[in-house]
Amino acid sequence: MTRPATPFGLRALFLTATALAVLPMTAEVDAAPPSAPAAAPLSEAGGESATDKAFEAIYTAEWDWRQKQSEPDEDSKNPELVLPDIGPKAQAAKLARWSAVEKQLAGIDPARLSAANKINLAVYQSQIDALLAAQQFREYEKPFNADTSFWGNLADWARQPISDEAGARNYLEMLREIPRYYDQQIANMRAGIKRGFTAPRVTLTGRDAGIKLVIAAATPQDNPFYAPFKDLPDTIPQATRAALQAEAAQVIAQGVVPAHTKLLAFMDNEYAPAARTTLAAYDLPDGKAYYRSKIREFVTLDKSPEEIHQLGLSEMARIRARMEAVMREVKFTGTLPQFFEHLRTDPQFYPKTPNELLYRAAWIAKTFDGKASQYFGHLPRSRFAIKPVPADIAPFYTGGRGGPGIYLVNTYDLPSRPFYSQIALTLHESAPGHAFQMPLAAENKDLPAFRRDTYISAYGEGWALYCEALGEDMDMYETPYDLFGMLSYQAWRAARLVVDTGIHSQGWTRKQAQDYLRDNTALSNHEIETEVDRYISWPGQALSYYMGELAFLDARAKAKQALGPKFNIRAFHDAVLQIGSVPLPVIDQRVDQLIADGGVGPYPDEE
């Protein structure tokens, strides 16, 4: 996936997997490369086979095409592209291109590929399957959920500084494109309304806050989109800076604000009244097939909702037993639900100021730094900052979110941000979780670009959740309450298997889902409400976390059993991180190779 211009947009888009990352600019369908031969001969010299070359030609051409039509980011190779064309012709172009690529891949014989390209094919096939399914189900007609939105992603760009005149002019071009872009989004949403493909009405309350913030600014200079022009670098001549600022104010007043006013009127007067009152993905057009497609995308396994639901129930029972043991350790005499309520309401467990939370996160992150070399041989070069979630999105945001260069801590509504969850949260969102794994993939130049810049939710979220459990091995949890916080987070993700499938395939109500989380986790009531709305509006994504963690845990257990005293935890971690974000079956294949190599990881000199 291409990296958006900001860390906020980055994680928001990463969590949608590859499908939402590709936004074409053009309406024309590029000519597809010739179909790959069904049985190309192997090379005689022992180098690349003809099948390898044919496959590489397919993914190179498609990836280049995808990049040229995507929103630019800070590393954009196409700075002249600003906001994509998302109209009917552009959507047809995507459908045609990925349909053609799917046919080409069907002509590739995996047995004739090199070992590296067999993995590349598994990753690439997963990408194309998800992209094509998104087009076939016309997901662009529902371009937001309770977690992220297209208007919020654009507002994220306004939080980044402008480094030079070219960047300022490119940003201005993006501002000019907003009216056209929003008009296309509205047209797509109207098409969704006509066929009943909308966000559930119950998840819409308050989601227009970011739109209102843009409209409410007293002057263009007070508008969030003007922020990058307030502090233009001195390398831009003063007269040029003044001209750019004047132009930005004009574009915001004449284009950006009216576009948001129009969008707000549409959302309030047209979309919300027409939004569906049902919750389940099964209630959408071709809903059963759609939900199965989201399970395949987010879990990378062909599992039925029933299988996942039952797995969630059994895992919840196992985790509850551990939570009850910790409850007894701290001498609490009530029931587990009563202990949850005690944790939610006792002031000792909650920060009084935002800085208390931020400083705690920083302490935890540095504590891990002191242990990192014991558990990882190869470390990323990238560092990360710790910042509060921006105020305009914090009420609907998760407790924290991380990625390359950033760990966001939500300091909104402090009575819902318990200290006992902070260690697990920090290990998940910063290092060795998202702010660790993503840079390692991006820095691995041995991977093709479509793998370095791609995030598969089952892998990425599974890894981050595995890191929460790894904190127990690393002695990160300082008190029984900290350990209980980790177990509550594990229960939260296992509960998602029950709740997501319950909502989307078994007719669960919103209250039923909230009650299940309230009865089985120590999450605050605020988090329970925002989380359930996220699951309702984003079918399948919540399944990726725990299903992914189980893949890592199973792989580690397999390696330990097979290698015995040769098992090296650093070599194991290096091996599964070296391959970047991959479908879950590839993790198992990589561990098979680690076992065959006698437990020697990919970076033996560092281990």
Mean per-residue pLDDT pooled into runs of 10, the chain (607 residues): 32 34 32 41 58 97 84 47 86 96 97 94 95 97 92 84 92 95 98 97 91 96 95 95 97 98 98 97 97 97 97 97 97 95 94 96 97 96 93 84 93 94 97 95 92 90 97 97 96 97 98 95 90 95 97 98 97 96 95 97 79
Q: Which long-range contacts (CB under 8 A, 24 or more apart) does 149-153 make?
A: 149/207, 149/210, 150/181, 150/185, 151/182, 151/210, 151/211, 151/260, 151/263, 152/12, 152/210, 152/393, 153/4, 153/9, 153/12, 153/13
Where does residue 170 rank: exposed (0-12), middle (13-18), buried (19+ CB within 10 A)? middle
Distance CA 428, CA 476 (A): 13
CB 187 within 8 A of CB 87: yes
Q: How many CB atoms lie under 10 A from the CB of residue 185?
A: 21
In this structure, what are the phi and psi dihedrals at residue 492, rounded to the nearest 5 degrees?
Answer: -55, -45
Q: Tell me the HSE value of 539 on the side-chain side, using a 13 A CA sphere.
A: 30
Instruction: Identify the pLDDT of residue 70.
Output: 64
pTM of the model: 0.87
Instruction: Identify the pLDDT of residue 436.
Output: 93
Instruction: Identify the pLDDT of residue 33.
Output: 45
In this structure, what are the phi and psi dihedrals at residue 403, rounded to the nearest 5 degrees?
Answer: 180, -170
Instruction: Identify the pLDDT of residue 69.
Output: 67
For 201-223, the three-class secondary structure string (H helix, E strand, C coil) is HHHCCCCCHHHHHHHHCCCHHHC
Instruction: Identify the pLDDT of residue 71.
Output: 57
Task: List b or e across 234-248, with b for residues whose CB sees 16 or more CB atoms inside 10 angstroms.
Answer: eebeeeebeebbebb
Cis peptide bond N-terminal to 432, omega within 30: yes
Instruction: Identify the pLDDT of residue 48.
Output: 81
What sign does the CA torsion over 563, 569, 575, 579 have? positive
Distance CA 503, CA 554 (A): 28
